[in-house]
Amino acid sequence: MAGALADARRLLWDEAARKLSMLLSSQSGFQGEHFLQVLEWSQRIVAIGEVFSGMESGALRMSLARQSGVFFKSFHKSNMEVGVVGGGGWCGG
């Protein structure tokens, strides 16, 4: 009986992790100021899911890391463009 319950927990978490991964890959949550909040909530959900299922979610964590990299690269690029176009610069001219 305990084995069947453990298997059911893993199946439930696997399905939830797949859905979270699909949501994260949509890019809509990874825009602007909302990104850090989405990232924090996602990390909490992953941690809870890992405890619930008793297994690690390496693929989901990699997905989060990949999306974070994409976001920060884009964020950095847009901030650099604003700095250059705006003429503010960091040199203090």
Taking the domains of the chain in order of start, what are their residue ranges?
1-23+33-59
Torsion of CA 59, 63, 66, 70, to 10 degrees: 170
Higher pLDDT, 51 or 70: 51
Rounded to an integer, the average pLDDT of 57-85 is 79
pLDDT band at 54 (very low <50, low <70, confident <90, very high): very high
Question: Would you call 89 helix, strand, or coil by DSSP?
Answer: coil
pLDDT band at 30 (very low <50, low <70, confident <90, very high): low
Model confidence pTM above 0.75 = no
The pLDDT score that the predictor gives to residue 9 is 92
- 54 vs 8, 48, 77, CA distance in Å? 11, 10, 39
The amino acid at residue 59 is: A
The pLDDT score that the predictor gives to residue 46 is 94
